[in-house]
Amino acid sequence: MIIRRLMLSLVLILFASLTIGVILGLDDVARGSLASRIPSLAPVSASPEPVDPPKVAATPKGKPTPRPTPTTAASTPKPTLGPTQPRSTPTATSTPSPSPPRSSAPPAAEPTTQPTAQPTAKPTVKPTQAPTTVPPKKAPSNAYLKGPLRKGPGGTVYLTFDDGPGVSTSAILTILSRTSSTATFFHLGVNEPGFPHADARIRAQGSTVASHSYDHPDLTTLTAAQLAWQVTHGPRATCFRPPYGATNKAVRKAIAHAGMREVLWSVDTLDWTRPGVATLAKTGRLKSITDGSIVLMHDAGGDRRQTVAALPTVIADLQARGYRVRALPYC
């Protein structure tokens, strides 16, 4: 009887061990269904619990550690927008379902798209520097005559002054009188009220007054009505010099319609850049000056003390070369 019991218990133990081994080898679903069929083995399934944490410990308890895992999972899922597009298109950030991780992506993508829109807004460059016809290049050293000046065949050089009347106009007239010279003054209508006697003094000295528009705009940028107004609201004259030397067919037509003649220049001293008295004083030695040259200088529109200081030397050198310094005869 004892032997039979022993044998039976051995068979039961063997059977139990085989059953446990089989159950351990099964997955969670198979193990659960097997436990429902064999109630006697239900307690055995409790032992594998520590082996598979994902189901029991991960989601329900809401540990802080499983939260980052959706971010890695969110980068690999198969929705077509996935890894390549979120950077270039900020709209893609709203579509993915895991909203917490994706919401941090757009701020990085947005700043890169915005700055490109603004820089090319309005760089319209209409220079307000004077004059536009002749670029402000410094004359090379070999442009000037060196040594004692000799009288040439003679002729006339026409001095012109722009942008007045101004505080330097009177000093220039004094120098012209002292050197028995005359010049043409292209003045602005806007400056005339501040120097009400300037034009009369210019004419009394033997020089002439011409027009340089009302307030020195680039006439080529104006409407027909604005152009006509600028041309007719300078000083009364027979000659007109467009500001900056900026001219075109419409400007010439408006000048002619006002009964005036357009006058530009052939030699620009660039005195408006204030290059220094020594540089300006060499103007009378320029090789480019010949009989009939029109020399551009300024009596206002800025600090013209350098022009005033250099002018006596300029006139003296021109006269030493045999030139007379005169106002334009047709103005």
Residue 240 burial (C-beta neighbours within 10 Å; 0-12, 13-18, 19+): buried
Nearest-angstrom CA–CA distance, 161 and 167:
13
- Nearest CA-CA partner of 21 in 34, 36, 39, 5: 34
Residue 325's H or E segment, with its range, is strand 323-326
Catalytic residue among 162, 163, 299, 317: 162
- In angstroms, the Cα distances linking 53 to 60, 65, 283, 313 are 11, 13, 96, 102
212 an active-site residue? no
Residue 149 burial (C-beta neighbours within 10 Å; 0-12, 13-18, 19+): middle
* Residues 6+ positions from 95 with CB-CB distance below 8 Å: 79, 81
162 an active-site residue? yes
Catalytic residue among 212, 271, 298, 317: 298
Q: Which residues are catalytic?
A: 162, 298
